[in-house]
Structure 1
Amino acid sequence: MKIAVEGCCHGELDATYEEIKRIEQRDGAPVDVLLICGDFQAVRNAQDLQCMAVPDKYKDLRQFYQYYTGEKQAHVLTLVIGGNHEASNYMWELYHGGWLAPNIYFLGHAGCVQFNGVRIAGASGIYKSHDFPLGSFERMPYNPKSMRSIYHIREYCVRRLSLLSTPRIMLSHDWPQGIEHAGDLAGLLRRKQHFRADVQNSALGSPPLRGLLHQLQPEWWFSAHLHTRFEAAVAHGPAEGAAGASVDAGGQPAPPVIVANPDEIAIDDDEFDAPAPSEDPAQPAAAAEPRPPPVSRNDDEIVLSDEEDDVAPPPPPPPPYVPPKMTKFLALDKCLPRRKFLEVIDIPTDATPTPGNPTFAFDPEWLAIVRAFNPLLSLEMKQTPFPPEAEARATVARELTWVQENVLAGCEGQVVNVKDVQQFAPTLPGGDGPQGRERFQQPPWFTNPQTVAFCEMLGIENKINAPPPPTAAKSPPP
């Protein structure tokens, strides 16, 4: 299966799809799905621009609204996550995921779906420590502070993702913290010298995503945000913690096992390399410690009982070798000419895709997680306390049984196709939008029918944008 991956889109959909068509023509094979790692900028009209945290000079409609209105069509199924430059009001409408435009699907603030049997999970936003433990308190109209905090990833989303069994592919906008040490760090710092201080201070990337990397151990992890191409490989140790995650003595995810990059060229002034031993010929070589003479043992000797403690037992046999599980990491640049912003990767799959009719379905396990955690979704500053992990996993297991009995029963392949539940429906006029003063105002609040349909499928309360209560009918005048 051919998967196209893009870094930051920044609204440049025309250039994105043109590049895919160029690759398809070059390779003589169609791309099955496109994954975009944030800063997608689903801007429907000028009012959406007032909900995007960018300087005024960058408030440009670009091309998304043409795909939103149907003037243009995405020729390949496109799955996106959010970054830190988004029309956050629109992505909040589809908090649980939904169609941003025909054939363009948002995975939600956190989510997991299946495409032709391949599980694809994603985490939107970027990490800021002061907002991470809070609830989703932001409300329209956004002020300058909440317009930024709304795209800061929350612990609520990370905890839900941590309960997944291993997805094949993981998307994030941020890089996982420490991933730079698993690739060509010297080359990265030559291209991005201003990263050096963050690398030295272990401040590059997201700590919660580092935990997810070792908890989920996906085959592929794709990111964007830092506007450079970077690849790495992480070898996970044997399963020692929950869900197969290696953990240290404090219960935290163990650091990655670095896989040496054979193409990396060491540079003399790279302070990240360990200092070389002294080679000054004036310095005498360290004397080797004398080895004790080998001890011979007479098999005919009678060993007294009080001497048996002095005899070392034979060493235990070594444990069988278990090859480490690998995660291949790839970050890509932003969509600009002569930038490495898009690549196509072949991923083997057991499923036989139907040309023109791929299977795009909800992930049953994720549906169970959403049901289990929906009561904990806080719309206030303070987040509702989370249960212990064992209790949370037991709740998810019960909800998975509910999903199988109430959502999947009678479904072919025990999955529900997304389009059978959610259909694209515009909620705001697309294009240039209102004129005059309204053009520079944030749009009104909307109930999105896709979110309503998703919540009804799972039998959960719609906390995102519930329809307003019906108004009481007025009595006729006497």
Structure 2
Amino acid sequence: MVNIAFEGCCHGELDKIYRSLAKLSVPIDLLIIAGDFQAVRNSRDLKCMAVPAKYQQLGDFHSYYSGQKVAPITTIFIGGNHEASNYLWELYYGGWVAPNIYYMGASVVLNFCGVRIGGLSGIWKEGDYHKGHFERVPYTEGTKRSIYHVRQYDVLKLYQISEPVDIVVSHDWPAGVEHFGRLNELLTKKKFLKSDIDNKALGSPPAMRLLERIRPRFWLSAHLHVKYTAIVKHKPTDQRTSVSTDKTSRLTQYFVRNSAMPNGGQNANGNADERGIGVDECVINEDEINLDIFSGQEGSNSPDGQVLVEDRDDDLATDIPSQQLSKSLGEQAEPTESSSHVFENEQVTSREYITDEGDNGFPETRFLALDKCLPRREFLQVIRVPTREHVGAHRICYDPEWLAITKATEPYMSLDQSQTNFFATASEQEALKESIRQAREWVQKYVVEVGKLEIPSNFIATAPCRQADDFSTSQFQPVEYNNTQTQDFCDLLGIPNRIWRE
């Protein structure tokens, strides 16, 4: 088993997060942060972050970048919508942003002690989904935002995963996942979400398709600054994912019926079906699943047994006894088997092409979203995950399957505004599958067998640290930096480095 701490949005508060983890009486093997990390090295990086000027704060990261501080726990993170995007672009394939702090990349699967962890950076916006990665510094106000919008190319790479994945991390929620938990409790905390939920505009449709496709043990998200849990039970691959309850609630009936309607439950005028049941009218059935699924305890309102850290007034967490650690997956209370109703996500564009070849995922996915790091907020939780192998040293490693997918799909990556849909027909899918198979053989021979799976500790500072800032020019965006980590990765796979533009 490995003990993995999960943090919601970081927003530059690394010191508080690490101090909170230090108060735990259980050892933490890995920290995962679900975006809005804000790897800001200096004041010029702030000019590449899409936040209002009054929120442009350096935060704690620059101290870790400069070497003044070192992360006490191996930390990995994905990108959100409030990032120094210029720095993350340097490490498009992933890399160390500071010693012991690793950016996972635009999309990825990594391996930590036998636990496979996938990640998808950014947030969903339909208008930019089918574009290439065309944004480069200096950013306009538009490209400063479009650069963190999820691209179909990066999603389709994850669709090629065929081996079981334990954890997937995304910044925004998979579209519709809120309906697999206690929705009324969510709306009690976040009333303003009702409109988006009513209009089926909340979350990322591609992320939900990935959840249905990959079927990981856990799916972790942030973005909405609230703790929320849900259980998504999966049906065989030839059927849709289902909502499972002992009795069909009116909310479930409403969501299922409208999801199956043309135009995603909208009438001819493009408005939500007026005959439907409004979310505020629905009462969650008392017989529905009511588990704190990450603690194994009945009743999600009770803090007993939760491995949960709340930032107190002193910015430190209270001590948590080791016996309260989240139970392993095999020990957790299981949801009751029950009737199922088809969940269909009509928001997903028809340009997505997925081939299913058997049940390689888990029968259910446990979803957890957490808050940001603030006093009295639920921003941190620990889970125990079983490993597939005994690993002595806790190191982050490349995943052979992902390396093969990256090598096979690299030629299709676009750096222009347009992006070719690279397997739109059955013959193209077969050609891609064969390319991945050949790449997997190559990876086995030139990476796995020669002992190059462990990610090297090759961090290098590319930009000036805060102490070296030229404040006379800090109002301008920085130049583009060449990161040798990206070149090392491309050399490892024998692919061209198109991230660096000379």
- The reply to whether TM is greater than 0.5 is yes
Name which of 306, 326, 329 aligns with 2:367. Answer: 329
Aligned to 1:231: 229
**Percent identical:** 46
CA distance in structure 2 between the aligned counterparts of 1:10 and 1:108, rounded to whole angstroms: 18
Question: Which residues in structure 2 correspond to 1:136-175 (within 5 Å)?
Answer: 136-165=133-162, 166-175=164-173
Matched, 1:391 2:421: no
Matched, 1:56 2:91: no
Contact 1:40 1:86 in 2 (8 A): yes
TM-score by length of 1: 0.79
CA distance in structure 2 between the aligned counterparts of 1:439 and 1:425, rounded to whole angstroms: 22
Name which of 265, 281, 285 aligns with 1:271. Answer: 281
CA shift digits 1:262-306 (9 cap, x unpaired): xxx99x98424599xxxxxxxxxxxxxxxxxxxxxxxxxxxxxxx
CA distance in structure 1 between the aligned counterparts of 2:118 and 2:50, rounded to whole angstroms: 25
Tell me how many residue pairs correspond in the alignment: 394
CA shift digits 1:94-130 (9 cap, x unpaired): 0000001000001101111100011001000000000
Name which of 166, 179, 182 aligns with 1:181. Answer: 179
1:352–1:269 CA distance, 2 compared to 1 (3 A): closer
Name which of 449, 456, 462 aligns with 2:484. Answer: 449
1:56–1:274 CA distance, 2 compared to 1 (3 A): closer
**SS of match in other structure, 1:50:** helix
Question: Which residues in structure 2 correspond to 1:433-444 (within 5 Å)?
Answer: 433-444=468-479
Question: Which residues in structure 2 correspond to 1:464-475 (within 5 Å)?
Answer: 464-465=499-500, 468=502
1:260: how far off?
6.1
1:353: how far off?
4.2
1:399–1:106 CA distance, 2 compared to 1 (3 A): same
CA distance in structure 2 between the aligned counterparts of 1:274 and 1:259, rounded to whole angstroms: 10
1:158–1:184 CA distance, 2 compared to 1 (3 A): same
Matched, 1:349 2:387: yes
1:169–1:269 CA distance, 2 compared to 1 (3 A): closer
Aligned to 2:292: none
TM-score by length of 2: 0.75
Matched, 1:426 2:461: yes
Amino acid at match of 2:396: F
CA distance in structure 2 between the aligned counterparts of 1:382 and 1:269, rounded to whole angstroms: 38
CA distance in structure 1 between the aligned counterparts of 2:375 and 2:431, rounded to whole angstroms: 50
**SS of match in other structure, 1:40:** coil
**SS of match in other structure, 1:131:** helix
1:324: how far off?
7.7
**SS of match in other structure, 1:170:** strand
Amino acid at match of 2:395: T
1:464: how far off?
0.3
Aligned to 1:258: 244
Aligned to 1:7: 8
1:259–1:221 CA distance, 2 compared to 1 (3 A): farther
CA distance in structure 2 between the aligned counterparts of 1:331 and 1:135, rounded to whole angstroms: 29
Name which of 49, 73, 78 aligns with 1:76. Answer: 73
1:433: how far off?
4.3
Amino acid at match of 1:364: P
**SS of match in other structure, 1:418:** coil
Aligned to 1:16: 17
Matched, 1:369 2:366: no
Amino acid at match of 2:41: R
Name which of 441, 445, 450 aligns with 1:401. Answer: 441
Give the number of the structure whose alpha-carbon radius of gyration is greater: 1
CA distance in structure 2 between the aligned counterparts of 1:154 and 1:237, rounded to whole angstroms: 28
Amino acid at match of 1:60: Q
Matched, 1:92 2:92: no
Aligned to 2:319: none
Contact 1:182 1:256 in 2 (8 A): no
1:126–1:269 CA distance, 2 compared to 1 (3 A): closer
1:347: how far off?
1.2
Question: Which shows bigger deviation, 160-169 or 456-465?
Answer: 160-169
**SS of match in other structure, 1:440:** coil
Q: Which runs of 5+ in 1 are unaligned?
A: 241-245, 247-253, 276-322, 469-478
**SS of match in other structure, 2:474:** helix
CA distance in structure 1 between the aligned counterparts of 2:241 and 2:115, rounded to whole angstroms: 27
1:385: how far off?
3.0
1:390: how far off?
3.4
Question: Which residues in structure 2 correspond to 1:184-195 (within 5 Å)?
Answer: 184-195=182-193
Question: Which residues in structure 2 correspond to 1:6-45 (within 5 Å)?
Answer: 6-23=7-24, 27=25, 29-45=26-42
**SS of match in other structure, 1:383:** coil
CA distance in structure 2 between the aligned counterparts of 1:365 and 1:349, rounded to whole angstroms: 17
CA shift digits 1:124-148 (9 cap, x unpaired): 0000000000001101100100000
**SS of match in other structure, 2:233:** strand
Aligned to 2:316: none
Considering only aligned residues, what root-mean-square deviation do their CA atoms show, in Å? 2.2
CA distance in structure 1 between the aligned counterparts of 2:140 and 2:20, rounded to whole angstroms: 37
1:35–1:260 CA distance, 2 compared to 1 (3 A): farther
Contact 2:230 2:366 in 1 (8 A): yes
CA distance in structure 2 between the aligned counterparts of 1:269 and 1:112, rounded to whole angstroms: 36
Amino acid at match of 1:96: Y
Aligned to 1:462: 497
1:73: how far off?
1.0
1:34–1:260 CA distance, 2 compared to 1 (3 A): farther
**SS of match in other structure, 1:437:** coil
1:30: how far off?
1.0
**SS of match in other structure, 1:438:** coil
CA distance in structure 2 between the aligned counterparts of 1:233 and 1:190, rounded to whole angstroms: 20
CA distance in structure 1 between the aligned counterparts of 2:488 and 2:279, rounded to whole angstroms: 58
1:136–1:32 CA distance, 2 compared to 1 (3 A): same
CA distance in structure 2 between the aligned counterparts of 1:227 and 1:63, rounded to whole angstroms: 20
1:448: how far off?
0.3
1:258: how far off?
3.2
Contact 2:220 2:368 in 1 (8 A): yes
1:441: how far off?
0.8
